[in-house]
Amino acid sequence: MIGDHTMPAVVGFLMIILGILLLFAKSEIFHVEFPEKKTLLSIIGTLGLLFAYWVLFQFIGYVVSTFVISVLLFRMIGSYKLFPQALFFGAALTAFLYVAFVYLLSIPFPKGLMGI
């Protein structure tokens, strides 16, 4: 009955309960303001890019999809004014994660339909 699923299940259950309690909490410290237009667009754009990453990952594989999406996320969230900075950090992140998972942890990434 107790296995590797127990800890995530307990944490998830507690998060649901605490979330429900927050819905009914009435206090000044729980006052939330709606984000400004720029922040809201950034949030929506980030969610859109994460969805695009999920779709692209299956078709073009890890390397290309991670590089493209990370460059766009660094540009949008990190507010890098220069595109070369976002390119550099996107390439560095992609390479670091690839080395960490494939070589150090021996966990291969899916290649996608294009074989990349």
Q: What is the mean pLDDT of each run of 10 residues along the chain (116 residues)?
A: 85 94 75 82 93 90 91 85 86 94 89 70
6 in a structural domain: no
80 in a structural domain: yes
Report the number of distinct structural domains present in the chain: 1
72 in a structural domain: yes
24 in a structural domain: no
62 in a structural domain: yes
Structure tokens at 56: 């692209």
Its domain, for residue 66, covers 35-104
Q: What is the pLDDT of residue 77?
A: 84
47 in a structural domain: yes
Q: What is the pLDDT of residue 17?
A: 95
Q: Model pTM?
A: 0.69
8 in a structural domain: no
CA gap 16, 106 in Å, rounded? 34
CB neighbour class for 32 (10 Å; exposed up to 12, middle 13-18, buried from 19): exposed
